[in-house]
A and B are shown apart, each in its own frame.
Chain A
Amino acid sequence: DAGVIQSPRHEVTEMGQEVTLRCKPISGHNSLFWYRQTMMRGLELLIYFNNNVPIDDSGMPEDRFSAKMPNASFSTLKIQPSEPRDSAVYFCASSVGRWSPGELFFGEGSRLTVL
């Protein structure tokens, strides 16, 4: 079975450029989460969706960050414009449903470097 698929695995960009990260959750999973991981702050929840609807985006750092889930099999996280402090590994995770939280299946992450 395919797990959570993220792309790109690595992205190097210059400050001010737009970055789009993509995620395909596990088929049949109804909840999707975006996390950011850094050494200093660990894994931070940015936003999560249930049945394609954003439930809580209070972790999104600022207006430069936006996330969409147009259908059950695809989500994007966009940063525009990007800044060096956005450098981190961004993880997408999915779970079966809102009422079985905690059992997350993670992708391999997208490592973003903003110069």
Chain B
Amino acid sequence: TQLLEQSPQFLSIQEGENLTVYCNSSSVFSSLQWYRQEPGEGPVLLVTVVTGGEVKKLKRLTFQFGDARKDSSLHITAAQPGDTGLYLCAGTLDDKIIFGKGTRLHILP
């Protein structure tokens, strides 16, 4: 059973479009992180959210933590080819950091 479910698994859209990807769980997390991973490399941290309802912005990326701290979303505005990659959410649960399987995003020029 996957503790963190990410959707969609794959997404391919045109440059300039907006998109939202989701990370859902039935568990409550003390914090949640989003990472991006490119081929042949390790994941790189984008953001950490801690408080229920928290919203953080990183340029064209907006991250939201659910009020109950069980879910999160990542919204990208005006996607660019450089946004292509595997987006992973991770939750902190009892000192362990658990990852979802990720959303593989491909932005077409």
Contacts and interface: CB of A to CB of B under 8 A. Distances in A.
Contacts of B42: 4, 91, 93, 106-109
* A43, A98, A104, A106 pick with most chain B CB within 10 angstroms: A43
Interface of A is mostly: strand
**Band of interface residues on A:** 20 to 34
A61 interface: no
A98 B97 CA distance: 11
Q: Classify the secondary structure of B's interface with A.
A: strand
B35 to A, nearest CB: 8
A12 interface: no
A33 B102 contact: no
A22 to B, nearest CB: 15
B45 A104 contact: yes
A106 B95 contact: no
A58 to B, nearest CB: 9
A45 B98 contact: yes
Contacts of B43: 43, 91, 104, 106
A109 B100 CA distance: 18
Interface residues of B, number: 25
A70 interface: no
A77 to B, nearest CB: 15
Contacts of A98: 95
B100 A48 contact: no
A21 B64 CA distance: 37
Interface of A: 4, 33, 35, 41-45, 48, 55-56, 91, 93, 98, 101-109
Interface of B: 2, 30-33, 35, 40-45, 48, 88, 90-92, 95-102
Given A45-B96, A101-B92, 20 more contacts: A4-B42, A41-B101, A42-B2, A42-B99, A42-B100, A43-B88, A45-B98, A48-B96, A56-B95, A91-B42, A98-B95, A101-B30, A101-B96, A101-B97, A103-B45, A103-B48, A104-B33, A106-B43, A108-B42, A109-B40
